[in-house]
Structures are given as C-alpha cells and as structure tokens.
Copies of this chain bind each other. A is one copy, B any other.
Amino acid sequence: MSGGKNTGTSKAERYIQPSLLMALLSGASYGYELLQRLPDFGFFREDVPPGMIYRHLRQMEEEELVISRWEAEGSGPAKRVYEVTPAGREVLEAWIGHMENRMRKLQDFVALYRSRTATHTADHCGGKDSER
C-alpha cells in the first residue's frame, strides 16, 4: 500500500512549553531530569527527543519565562539548572486558560457528534444521553 491511511489519530499537539513550566513549578530542575519527568504529564510518549527539550528551554529563557544557572555540585557533568520566573508563571496561567478553552471546544464537538449519531431505532427519542 502506498497511502498509509492514518486513521483518526494524526500528530497531536505536544504542549511542551506548558509541561516544562509545570515541571519547574514544583522546583528548579535541569534538562536531563526534565526529559524523564515530562512523560508524566501525559502529552508525551515514553521517549522524549532530548534536542527538543533543550531547544525549548533555551527559547523559553530568551523569552524570560525561565532563568538558568550552571550548577557544578553533585556527581556527573555540570547541569544547567532552570527556574521559572514570574513571567513564566503568567504564561503557564495563560496556557491553562487556553487548555480550558480547548477542553470546552472538544466537549462541544463530541457532544455534537453524539447528538448526530444517536440511535434513532428506539420507539421514542426521549433523552439524548442514553450512553454508557
């Protein structure tokens, strides 16, 4: 087959930025650790491409959503430890609003679908919420 037929589940939005901000909300962290914590937020599969994380962290620092400092203490090579700024918190808050808005739209869409595909075989069309 040449096509491939991606049935239904195409590439979804990753929400990388809000996930990173959320992770940093509970305390400073660094790229390598964030790599392992990010999947917990639900928007990633198990393996997160490292380049993407570092790229985003840099970009976020440029936008002053986070600040970084080098930390040489501890074992292993030095880490660049990031911390979220007040501006970062605001942006995360905005992301939350954006997500709630998105949730509402998804809910409306699903509800519309349900109402349009409701089984019309019953003798009466009583409630529209006869689902499991």
Interface residue ranges of A77-124 to B (CB < 8 Å): 90-100, 102-103, 105-110, 112-113, 116-117
CB contacts (< 8 Å) of A108 on chain B: these are 42
CB contacts (< 8 Å) of A7 on chain B: these are 63, 90-91, 94
Give this chain's copy count: 2
- Specify the chain B residue showing the minimal Cβ separation from A116: B25
Output the least CB separation between A69 and chain B (Å): 21
Structural contact, A113 and B94, CB atoms closer than 8 A? no
Beyond the given A7-B90, A12-B13, A22-B112, could you list 9 further A-B residue pairs with CB under 8 A, ordered by the A residue number? A5-B63, A8-B90, A8-B93, A8-B94, A8-B95, A12-B98, A19-B109, A42-B105, A103-B107
